[in-house]
Amino acid sequence: MHMRWLARNWPYIAMTLAIAAAVHVASVVYLPDLIMMRTMAKLAGAGGVNTMQHGARATQASRAVVRPSPDLLYSTCVYDLDKAGGRLRVHADGMPRTYWSVSAFDARTDNFYVLDDRHAQGGAFDVTLAGPQAAAHAGDIRSPTARGIVLVRTLIENEARLAAVDAARRGAQCEPAK
């Protein structure tokens, strides 16, 4: 009975497995894009794109990005290089004397750029992202996709310095490059 059922229905069984394999691969491949789209929408919020937003310290109420660190202050710039005219400047002056890093993630979640305080001069950084098709200037960092997220992490090394560290990291900015 089972064998006859199998013999009669094998094309459908094969088709089911083929569809399952295709759906599985497609969902795995596109999941990062979907998650980034959702995250960029959440982080941009009312502030919009191509502007730095300085998030409050992570607590149990923080739900924008998974596994946030409560020991870091996160500043985010959701960027859209098409809307920025092709290039986006990310800069800060007077970052606090603690661990900090500025990193860039493309729309596929890949981390394509990172700079930390040990490699920056005097608490300052000034980098420009160029879109995949944009005319880049010397020194520009090429973003693999037009959209993505720049994330500035600043460490709260000492609770007593929280207010000063928070004030200093607010100097980090992003805007369309001139």
Partner 1 sequence: MRVVMKLLVTAVCGIALGLFATWVLVVRAAPMGGDVRDGPWRTSLATGSAQGGAWLRASVALHGLLALNRSETIYYTATTDRLGGKLDAHCLYRVVGRDPPARWWSITAYGPDDFLIPNPQHLYSVSKTSVDRHPDGSGFLVTLGHDDIHSQEIATGKGAFSLTLRLYNPDAAVAADPAHVKLPSIVRVRCT
Binding residues (CB under 8 A) for partner 1: these are 9, 12, 15-29, 31-32, 35-36, 39, 58-60, 62-63, 65-71, 99, 101, 103, 105, 108-112, 114, 116, 118, 149, 151, 155, 157-159
Within 10 Å of residue 65's Cβ, how many Cβ atoms? Answer: 16
- The nearer residue to partner 1, 85 or 114, going by C-beta atoms, is 114
Number of H helices, E strands in the chain: 2, 9
Q: Among 115, 113, 77, which Cα is nearest to 99's? A: 115
Q: How far is the CB of 100 from partner 1 (least distance, A)?
A: 10
Q: How far is the CB of 84 from partner 1 (least distance, A)?
A: 20
Other C-beta atoms within 10 Å of 4: how many?
Answer: 8
Of the pair 43, 177, the CB lying nearest partner 1 is at 43
User: In a 3-state reduction of DSSP, which class is residue 51?
Assistant: coil
Residue appearing with tokens 């497995």: 17
Q: Which tokens go with 154?
A: 């600043």
Nearer CB in complex with partner 1: 9/133: 9
Minimum distance between the CB of residue 132 and partner 1, rounded to whole angstroms? 14
* Nearer Cβ to partner 1 (35/85): 35
Contact 58, 75 (CB under 8 A): no
Residues 6+ apart with CB under 8 A from 20: none
22 or 124, CB closer to partner 1?
22
Tell me how far, at minimum, the Cβ of 30 lies from partner 1, in Å. Answer: 9
Nearest approach, Cβ of 174 to partner 1 (angstroms)? 16
